[in-house]
Structure 1
């Protein structure tokens, strides 16, 4: 069954970015980067908010990234191959292939997308993920927890909705990052 998976990097105190909007938690090593790449390769569609999409679009618009290493080339290929849906009220056109822009998050349309998809769908961006949580669409959370405390910023998880989760897997990386996989209870 196709899953909608919320994927994010998060600090130990629960933030995806600091109060300035930066998300530079530390150097990602090859092991963590490979794990992100494997996840991208397993998904057929990425749901993004505008800001995260614009951050990620460089994997298609800047060929020098993929030229840096085989690992980065694999990531770029996985990102470029997938379909992307960007939710934005300000973006008028997408700068990448396989991308469409939607004005508003529509839970019914996402349910239909899940039903028709042949592979998993990821959702990225805290605001968009919050909407997916509220609509009961999130089947799994994959949180890459970084050993960093920011003390404030943008929360990774909804602050205005409750979700009871069950831990289904965990993985510790050599650089101190821990991948925690959860699913909502009752699924």
Structure 2
């Protein structure tokens, strides 16, 4: 049985994108940070993705320039391509990556089954989809890659839902980013 992990790059004030949907100018991990991300994702066997997150992440299989931009990028692409992927979308009609299934809606029972049957960890990527997992009590861990920037608003990382968390890991990087890992406590 794997853990269900919600992991995102987040501004200091708690947003994954600003009010214009922008994140690329401030959320880019350097090689040191990407190496840490790679270390974390080696245990991932399945990615659960919303449509927008899937469209953004598909480049790790479809765009050779992205895959070959650095050694750590190539390593991440290998991990991404080996994993199973489930995409939740009401608008997509097909997917462009291998090992990918398409679902029209989030089914908490199916996600619980994926968690129970996997040999590795499962990530739930994107704040809208992750909010569903959080509300259903399915998320076991929250990983934050905190950026030294504030956006002043935008797409929030966490939903309006109380969570009790225990800090299990922290790591500082030379570029000012900080990686935090929290266990979601029950009760």
Indicate whether the TM-score tops 0.5.
yes
Aligned to 2:146: 145
Aligned to 1:173: 173
Aligned to 1:90: 91
Deviation at residue 12 of structure 1 after TM alignment: 0.4
Asked if 1 retains the 8 angstrom alpha-carbon contact of 2:10 and 2:27, the reply is no
TM-score (norm 2): 0.95
Question: Distance between the aligned counterparts of 2:117 and 2:107, measured in 1?
Answer: 16
Question: Distance between the aligned counterparts of 1:177 and 1:113, measured in 2?
Answer: 32
Aligned to 1:46: 47
Asked if 1 retains the 8 angstrom alpha-carbon contact of 2:164 and 2:186, the reply is no
Listed as ranges, the gaps of 5+ residues in structure 1 are none
Aligned to 2:102: 101
**2:15 aligned with 1:15, yes or no?**
yes
Q: Which runs of 4+ in 1 moved over 3 A?
A: none
What CA RMSD, in Å, does the superposition of the two structures yield over aligned residues?
1.2
Judging changes above 3 Å, is the alpha-carbon distance between structure 1 residues 70 and 185 closer, same or farther for their aligned structure 2 residues? Answer: same
Three-state SS of the structure 2 residue aligned to 1:33 is helix
Equivalence map 1:14-163=2 (5 Å): 14-24=14-24, 25-159=26-160, 161-163=161-163
CA deviations over 1:17-42 (Å, ceiling 9, x no partner): 00111112154211111112222221
Three-state SS of the structure 1 residue aligned to 2:65 is helix
Deviation at residue 5 of structure 1 after TM alignment: 0.4
TM-score (norm 1): 0.95
Deviation at residue 186 of structure 1 after TM alignment: 2.9
Asked if 1 retains the 8 angstrom alpha-carbon contact of 2:9 and 2:27, the reply is no
Question: Distance between the aligned counterparts of 1:26 and 1:84, measured in 2?
Answer: 23
Listed as ranges, the gaps of 5+ residues in structure 2 are none
Deviation at residue 149 of structure 1 after TM alignment: 0.4
Three-state SS of the structure 2 residue aligned to 1:128 is helix
Q: How many residue pairs are counted as aligned between the two chains?
A: 186
Three-state SS of the structure 2 residue aligned to 1:35 is helix
Question: Distance between the aligned counterparts of 1:85 and 1:186, measured in 2?
Answer: 26
